[in-house]
Amino acid sequence: MPEKRIIMDKMEDSRSPLLEFYRSGEGYLALEKALKMQPDEIINEVKESKLRGRGGAGFPVGMKWTFIKRELPGPKYLICNADEGEPGTFKDREILLKKPHMMIEGMIIAAYAMGLDAGYIYVRGEFAEPCGKVDYAIEEAYAAGYLGNNILGSGFSFDLYTYLGAGAYICGEESALLNSLEGKQGMPRLKPPFPAQYGLYGRPTTVNNVESFAAVPPIIINGGKWYADIGTPKSGGTKMFSISGHVARPGVYEIPMGTPWKEFFYDIAGGVKDKKRLKAVIPGGSSTAVLTADEIENMTMDYESCIACGSMLGSGAVIVLDETTDMVKVLHRILKFYANESCGQCTPCREGCDWFFDIINRIYYGQGRMEDLDMFETLGKNISPTTICAFGESFVTPTLSFIRKFRNEFTGYIEKRRAE
Amino acid sequence: MSFAFNEVAMKEFDIWKKKFPDDPEGRRSLIIPALRLAQRQAGWISPEIAEYVAGITGTAPLQVWSVVTFYSMFNREPVGKNLLQFCTSISCGLLGGEELISHACRKLGIEEGKTTDDGIFTVTEVECLGACGNAPVLQVNDRYHENMTIEKLDALINELRNKEQG
């Protein structure tokens, strides 16, 4: 299966961020169509599309949209999660830079379907340039009557704003994002209540990822069934994959869900860089379990197949490791990231990620002990299930996968440095 | 010396105010935008600047300071005119991010996290910048420089230095 560009269609054209260019294709036709549909019809199309949340958790988007009680009085909010920060992920940046109108159109349709009054696009603090592109697109959309009061004469009104964060990985977690947007430390909230009941300023709120919103307009134009038929029985449509590391052609590629790994990696991304051999792949961002070259060989690029192989598709961030890769060094760098980024709210995570980093640090610098490897297992069991959000799991899972699958390299480090 | 927004920052702050509800909760949302504007103007966030931000957002200085200390982009001490932020996270790390930051430190004669005596450069190591397809990545102030090499880094440092000494 080759690339199938639905969201990325015409992205290579330098005019792709502009309204005029977007409208020369199917731009905002989905919004016109949606405003003539009943809100429930829209939600049913999205359900039928089998679109799953593209931020990493893969939760069905259409189902999430049914959680909002539209009859509740008072303001209700729509949030676009553009806090792209999972190491290895860089697909949302492409949309923000090159197709901001597609995401905006998806948001307006979502707001209409759920009866929401205002929206915020939470862009990670480092993305000042992409945020500027979105600001410009929002201005264009207001001027064209797609945002603001009485959109296209439908009687529906919706305001949309951007917001820039200030550097914190954890704000990609939706409830931490809401706290950050409220001007607080970005610490995840205990759930329930979920954002649909108690979100921004305590109001009903829906949070979706950039890519999820961008997928909505083509679903409305062509129908949910059309989108579902592109993918696998459980994962509809196409997905944008970010591929980086030791790969010949790094970048973002949009392919149908269910594309065989081999076709994606060798035919589309060009295989391993410099004709080296493949050692391992981290398939869904640094918080997912590493897969050996053998394990990934027969995988297909969709949520279910990735789980069957022992990992997670996550945000679709594929990191390629060639035969020369020092796995101890890679895990050392991954754990440094998590030690830097824990928000510090839950004790098992706050202390645990520092312990994990201390242990890998001493292995890496030649003071490792054999029992350290078992200590990861013991500590891990006490961290993963005891924290408010999934951050604890996010550093335990990759660590245990590295230790179990590449144990020789770790014991080698411990023995060799001891001998020196 | 007391801090206050200059005209440009005040104008932008007024735009931000329109984005949020005009009530205490909505005004608290202005803390991060106000801090970003203040840092762009002053280069860093002193306790005094944090108090100013508390004043214009109608929040407590403690609420502002808790935000300043939580987010990595707020500098709690002065930095150089060019903040060189090297990503060494996984993909940049695989493709030479660490060599780049070591090279920059050697060339500028400073340690990571420090500023050159002339105040032109500060070198810091940062986490994933979300541009891994063009690794290794370097962010200078707001701007990304992608597919970096030692040669490109040397040229960039020379160019930035010449501009400041112009």
pLDDT digits (tens, 9 = 90+) for B85-111: 999 999 999 999 999 999 999 999 999
* Mean pLDDT score across all residues of chain A: 96
pLDDT > 90? residue A113: yes
Locate the chain A residue with the closest alpha carbon to B75: A166
Q: Do B134 and A250 touch (CB under 8 A)?
A: yes
- Please give the backbone phi and psi of residue B95, each rounded to the nearest 5 degrees, phi first: -115, 25
| Average pLDDT value for residue range B79-87 | 96
Q: Does B104 touch chain A (CB under 8 A)?
A: no
pLDDT category at B164 given cuts 50, 70, 90 is confident
Please state the ipTM of this predicted complex.
Answer: 0.96
Q: Do B21 and A180 touch (CB under 8 A)?
A: no
Measure A126 CA to nearest chain B CA, in Å: 7
- Pick from A169, A333, A341: CB nearest B93: A333
Structure tokens at A228: 């579902």
- Pick from B28, B70, B93: CB nearest A182: B28
pLDDT category at B1 given cuts 50, 70, 90 is low
Question: Any idea which residue has 């050392």 for tokens?
Answer: A332
Locate the chain B residue with the closest alpha carbon to A180: B29
Residues 113-132 of A with CB under 8 A from B: 120, 124-129
Locate the chain B residue with the closest alpha carbon to A330: B90
CB neighbour list of residue B36: distance below 8 Å, 6 or more residues apart: A125, A164, A166, B73
Measure A94 CA to nearest chain B CA, in Å: 9
pLDDT category at A123 given cuts 50, 70, 90 is very high
Q: Does B131 touch chain A (CB under 8 A)?
A: yes
Q: Do A87 and B59 touch (CB under 8 A)?
A: no
- Sheet bearing A251-256, strands edge to edge: A251-256, A238-245, A317-322, A278-282, A291-292
Q: Do B91 and A88 touch (CB under 8 A)?
A: yes
Measure B69 CA to nearest chain A CA, in Å: 9
Q: Does A271 touch chain B (CB under 8 A)?
A: no
pLDDT > 70? residue A306: yes
Q: Do B33 and A164 touch (CB under 8 A)?
A: yes
Q: What is the pLDDT of residues A32-43, one digit of tens each?
A: 999 999 999 999
pLDDT at site A1 = 73
| Average pLDDT value for residue range A226-250 | 96
Contacts of B31 in chain A (CB under 8 A): 183
**Nearest one of B93, B8, B24 to A364, comparing CA atoms:** B93
Most B CBs within 10 Å, among A81, A94, A120, A126, to test the B interface: A126
Residue A282 near residue A264 (C-beta atoms within 8 A): no
Most B CBs within 10 Å, among A244, A315, A338, to test the B interface: A244
Total length of chain B? 166
Contacts 24+ apart (CB under 8 A), A260-266: A260/A1, A260/A298, A260/A299, A260/A300, A260/A301, A261/A296, A261/A297, A261/A298, A261/A299, A261/A300, A261/A301, A262/A297, A263/A1, A264/A301, A265/A318, A265/A320
What secondary structure letter does DSSP report for A17? Answer: T
Q: Do A166 and B88 touch (CB under 8 A)?
A: no
Q: Does B133 touch chain A (CB under 8 A)?
A: yes
Contacts of B71 in chain A (CB under 8 A): 125, 165-168, 186
The H-or-E segment that residue A122 falls in is: strand A118-123
Q: What is the pLDDT of residues B11-26, one digit of tens each?
A: 999 999 999 999 999 9
pLDDT category at A418 given cuts 50, 70, 90 is low
| Average pLDDT value for residue range A343-364 | 96
pLDDT at site A420 = 64
Structure tokens at A412: 């080698």
CB neighbour list of residue B164: distance below 8 Å, 6 or more residues apart: B81, B82, B118, B120
Q: Do A245 and B31 touch (CB under 8 A)?
A: no
pLDDT at site A419 = 65
Most A CBs within 10 Å, among B19, B95, B128, to test the A interface: B128
Bond prior to B78 in cis (omega within 30° of 0) = no
SS3 (DSSP) at A88: coil
In angstroms, rounded to a whole number, what is the distance separating the alpha carbons of residues A97 and A115? 28
Measure A314 CA to nearest chain B CA, in Å: 15
Q: What is the pLDDT of residues A354-399, one digit of tens each?
A: 999 999 999 999 999 999 999 999 999 999 889 999 999 999 999 9
